[in-house]
Amino acid sequence: MKTRTTLFFACSMCIPFFVSGCMIVGVDGGCWSWGGPLVWTEAIEERPIDATGLTALEVRTHNGSIDFQSQAAGVDASATIKKRAGGTSKEDAEEALAAINVFVERAGNVKTRIDWKWSVPKKARWSGDVSFVIRAPGNLNLDAETHNGAVAVAEVSGDVRVVSHNGKVKVRSSTGKLHAETHNGEVDATYAGPVVNLSSYNGEVSADLSKCGSVAGNITTHNGGVRIDVGKSTAATLKCQTHNGGIDCDAPLSESQKARGELRGKLGAGGPSLDVVTHNGSIRVKSTSG
């Protein structure tokens, strides 16, 4: 296990704002407590994951990133865990780090849960975050969520649900259903399955659906553009709508209807509804050779 201690200082542009029992976050990400800037320490460790009979994986963290890397069946599965803790001194930070309890445990016969919690009551001056890099077979159902951090998922063939409240989401998946969302950040998805739901509140959404056949779902953002790539076999009843922006579609549509801020039509052979909506931004639907 490696441990490193680092000092973080808020920048000169930050205006201190003191509230009893709270830590102050500077614009550069530095944290302050009553005693001044926090001292940070971190540790990295490896944990094995029992992949025997594994069909579902649930990953949770509050502050930190999640990176899922698919690997072939039969290869040892593992999680690389990066823990960071802040306190008012080196000793205080190390005490906080020791209180971060990460668990990798079975939840039933076919599901593993990865999460963390404070092993003792959290002191008001402490701060902590945990990030995960997970290597496991991709033929499973994945449910991954963080509040503050990015989520990246590569080559999962089961159902995928990925959520970040503040961070970019990037996913490559096929076969199963895909749900990917963030409140503040971009969504970048490459997908080949039947049901897709992508959403951001503040950020662009990109969806490569060129390997899809019949596909249904919703692709939305409130503030940002949307780009969708479709292939020769991609089929849906396409419904595009923007409140402030344009719509550009070079994919062949039949029975198309276009009005200000709206476009409808059958993509390929038609089929289920694929709704694409942005409130402030443009929509581009691009045909590829996929």
pLDDT digit string, tens, across residues 258-269? 999 999 999 999
The pLDDT of residue 36 is: 62
The pLDDT of residue 37 is: 81
160, two tokens:
């995928």
In sequence order, what are the beta bridge partners of 28?
none
Contacts of 231 (CB under 8 A, 6+ apart): 209, 210, 211, 212, 287, 288, 289, 290
234 residue type, one letter: T
Tell me the average pLDDT across 185-209.
98
Q: By the 8 A CB rule, do 109 and 55 touch?
A: no
The pLDDT of residue 28 is: 31
Coil, strand, or helix at residue 61? strand
Q: pLDDT-derived band of residue 14, with 50, 70 and 90 as boundaries? A: very low
Domain spans in the chain, listed from the N-terminal domain onward: 186-290
The pLDDT of residue 74 is: 80
77-113 per-position pLDDT tens digit: 999 999 999 999 999 999 999 999 999 999 999 999 9
CA–CA distances in Å: residue 53 to residues 36, 56, 71, 137, 175: 50, 9, 15, 11, 19
pTM for this model (two decimals): 0.87
Q: By the 8 A CB rule, do 284 and 225 touch?
A: yes
Q: pLDDT-derived band of residue 234, with 50, 70 and 90 as boundaries? A: very high
Q: How far apart are CA 86 and CA 65, in angstroms?
A: 17
50-87 per-position pLDDT tens digit: 999 999 999 999 999 999 999 987 889 999 999 999 99
Contacts of 1 (CB under 8 A, 6+ apart): 43, 44, 45
108-147 per-position pLDDT tens digit: 999 999 999 999 999 999 999 999 999 999 999 999 999 9
pLDDT above 90 covers a percentage of the chain that reads 84
The pLDDT of residue 72 is: 85
pLDDT at 4 over 80: no
3-state secondary structure 93-117: HHHHHHCEEEEEEECCCCEEEEEEE
Tell me the average pLDDT across 148-159.
97
Task: Kindly tell me the sign of the dihedral angle through the C-alpha atoms of 90, 93, 99, 102.
Answer: negative
216-233 per-position pLDDT tens digit: 999 999 999 999 999 999
Coil, strand, or helix at residue 150? coil
Neighbours of 35 (CB within 10 A): 12
Q: How far apart are CA 229 and CA 221, in angstroms?
A: 17
Coil, strand, or helix at residue 257? strand
229 residue type, one letter: D
Average pLDDT, the chain: 89
Coil, strand, or helix at residue 92? helix
The pLDDT of residue 31 is: 54
The pLDDT of residue 19 is: 38
The kind and range of the H/E element at 91 are helix 90-98
Instruction: Say which residue, 278 or 35, is predicted with more confidence.
Output: 278
Coil, strand, or helix at residue 90? helix
- Cα 106–Cα 108–Cα 109 angle in degrees, nearest 5: 90
Lateral strand order in the sheet of 160-166: 100-106, 111-118, 56-63, 141-148, 160-166, 178-184, 195-202, 216-223, 273-280, 236-244, 262-267, 253-259
pLDDT at 211 over 80: yes
